[in-house]
Amino acid sequence: ATTGSKNFQKPRDKLLGGLLDAEFDESSCLSRYQSSLYRKPSPYKPSRYLISKLRSYETLHKRCGPGTEAYKRSVKLLDQEELASSSDELCQYIVWVPLAGLGNRILSLVSVFLYALLTDRVMLVDQRNDISDLFCEPFPGTSWLLPLDFPLTNQLDRFHWHSPRSYGNMLKHHVINYSTTERFPSYFYLHLVYNYGAYDQMFFCEGDQSLIKKVPWLIVKSDNYFIPFLWLSFQTRLIKLFPQKETIFHHLARYLINPTNQVWGLVNRFYNAYLSRADERLGIQVRVFHRAKSLKLVMDQIVSCTQGEKLLPEAEAAQEESQVMMNVSKTPKLKAVLVTSLNPDYSNNLKSLYWEGLSSTGDVIGVYQPSQEMHQLRNNKLHNQKALAEMYLLSLTDNIVTSAWSTFGYVAQGLGGLKPWILYKPVNYTTPDPPCGRAMSMEPCFHSPPPFNVCGTETWKRIVPFVKPCEDRVSGVKLF
């Protein structure tokens, strides 16, 4: 990269405190080792136990990955409906099937990966959509792509909570009984989607995990960041892996989510053209879930949040210009504001505000928006690549303002290790007061958790100290 970035001169921690393996060919995935050129070193260090767990996972994945004898042996088990005994030597797997928007996908992918780490399973990903256009292979010397000739490929799209092999459905209809069963299925489908039911949610409980443990293949669909509820069954290991529990997504996402060279090109070119020379960078992620007629409402909210929190200066009316110009500091700072949104209006308005008015501090404000796609699309390669590039760009800023409820923003804040200012959701078409608030942690919100007592009140009491209702959604929970 040719860049004017001042960060280039600094000594850098290319392997992110040991999170990344040094074994990769750098050119195959430039983002993996180059992200440290663009981002300040994270103040959060991965634990030794996490680092050794990742290295041993990589060894396991190499031994059991697609194409290996071990993989073939485990695939053969799928010929049988039921198995009589489990063998410790056989590799076990969890297959991630993508669902919903890119932010949701990344949250569930990271959740499934942590579950794989905790249960010594190998994570494979359904590659029929655009996964390999977006993310580099994360594990050295092997592949995470589920081979296209996997025997259940044709069924993946049809799996749902009511499927005969859905774990919840089998529990509900007493097809399995985890206290007595001698035989168990060769695979389960796990439905961890917002519309799941009480039986699907039993997945999170310890007793259920001891049955699920025996089953060699799991297929999972999820649109949620379900890690907070993994504390119900895996608390001891989680505390060891993540002594700072609010860093789980931050570490795992920086390990797992490395944009492909094509996406990295989008990040790189934009960063160097508009952001690298600024003294300070502010990211504003605007995601509007309510009707477009509220443009003014959202704009007022953005302005009162960023100015009220001193993230941006006030813009003075033009007639006071001479006076303000006399008073401003001698060396004005250049502040670059990166706005991401499907809609171009917010950044256009902000740009006008600081062109037509004069900033009260004299700081120079540049406003930039990479794309304006207007509508959310699914399975469109360039659209998704731009979305990933923008999440990544937001994560490279110094401060970030995000929109309530948006998983797109969660990914950006987590990658960047940033505690966002959250623009609260407007109620009854009025600007909320206060317009925004600082998040208590950079962890994503688990939007659709099961009821707290899903595994009994006593179990719940054990995790109460670790979770709180989300700032932007009281029915959700997050680690803090």
DSSP string, 37-80: HHSPPPSPPPPHHHHHHHHHHHHHHHHHSTTSHHHHHHHHGGGS
Give the binding range for ligand GDP (CB under 6 A) out of 166-174, 182-190, 314-322, 370-378: 370-378
As measured in angstroms, the least distance from the Cβ of 196 to ligand GDP is: 18
As measured in angstroms, the least distance from the Cβ of 445 to ligand GDP is: 10
- What is the Cα 94 distance to its own chain's centre? 19
DSSP 146: P
Q: Which of residues 382-411 bind ligand GDP (CB under 6 A)?
A: 383, 386-387, 390, 406-408
Distance CA 446, CA 465 (A): 16
Q: Which residues does 234 contact at the CB level (< 8 Å), separation at least 6?
A: 118
Would you say 130 or 363 has its CB closer to ligand GDP?
130
Residues 85-111: b if buried by 16+ CB within 10 A, e if exposed: eeeeeebbbbbbbbbbbbbbbbbbbbb
Q: Which of residues 404-443 bind ligand GDP (CB under 6 A)?
A: 406-408
Cβ atoms 408, 223 nearer than 8 A: no
Q: Is 100 in the site for ligand GDP (CB under 6 A)?
A: yes
Cβ atoms 233, 462 nearer than 8 A: no
Give the binding range for ligand GDP (CB under 6 A) out of 136-144, 157-165, 337-345, 455-463: 337-345
Residue written as token pair 């795992």: 252
As measured in angstroms, the least distance from the Cβ of 265 to ligand GDP is: 15
- Exposure of 270 in the CB half-sphere (CA atoms within 13 A): 25
Q: Select the residue interacting with ligand GDP from 1, 176, 342, 382 (CB under 6 A).
A: 342
| Contact string 149-188 vs ligand GDP (x = CB under 6 A) | ----------------------------------------
Q: Is 373 in the site for ligand GDP (CB under 6 A)?
A: yes
Residues 314-335: b if buried by 16+ CB within 10 A, e if exposed: bbeeeeeeeebeeeeeeeeeeb
Burial of 283 (0-12, 13-18, 19+ CB in 10 A): buried
Q: To which H or E segment does residue 285 belong?
A: strand 280-286
Give the binding range for ligand GDP (CB under 6 A) out of 38-46, 207-215, 260-268, 335-343: 335-343
As measured in angstroms, the least distance from the Cβ of 372 to ligand GDP is: 8
Would you say 54 or 350 has its CB closer to ligand GDP?
350
Phi, psi of 270 (to 5 degrees): -70, -45
The most distant pair of C-alpha atoms in the chain lies apart, rounded to whole Å, by 85
Q: Which of residues 226-245 bind ligand GDP (CB under 6 A)?
A: none
Cβ atoms 445, 420 nearer than 8 A: no
Q: Is 103 in the site for ligand GDP (CB under 6 A)?
A: yes
Q: Select the residue interacting with ligand GDP from 247, 276, 306, 341 (CB under 6 A).
A: 341
As measured in angstroms, the least distance from the Cβ of 180 to ligand GDP is: 41
Give the binding range for ligand GDP (CB under 6 A) out of 100-108, 140-148, 312-320, 458-466: 100-108
Q: Is 340 in the site for ligand GDP (CB under 6 A)?
A: yes
Would you say 66 or 101 has its CB closer to ligand GDP?
101
As measured in angstroms, the least distance from the Cβ of 77 to ligand GDP is: 34
Question: How many residues sit close enough to ligand GDP to count as binding (CB under 6 A)?
Answer: 19
**Closest residue to bound ligand GDP by CB:** 101
Distance CA 256, CA 134 (A): 12
Q: Select the residue interacting with ligand GDP from 51, 54, 97, 102 (CB under 6 A).
A: 102
Q: Is 104 in the site for ligand GDP (CB under 6 A)?
A: yes
Would you say 363 or 390 has its CB closer to ligand GDP?
390
Q: Residues interacting with ligand GDP, by CB under 6 A?
A: 100-104, 287, 340-342, 371, 373, 376, 383, 386-387, 390, 406-408
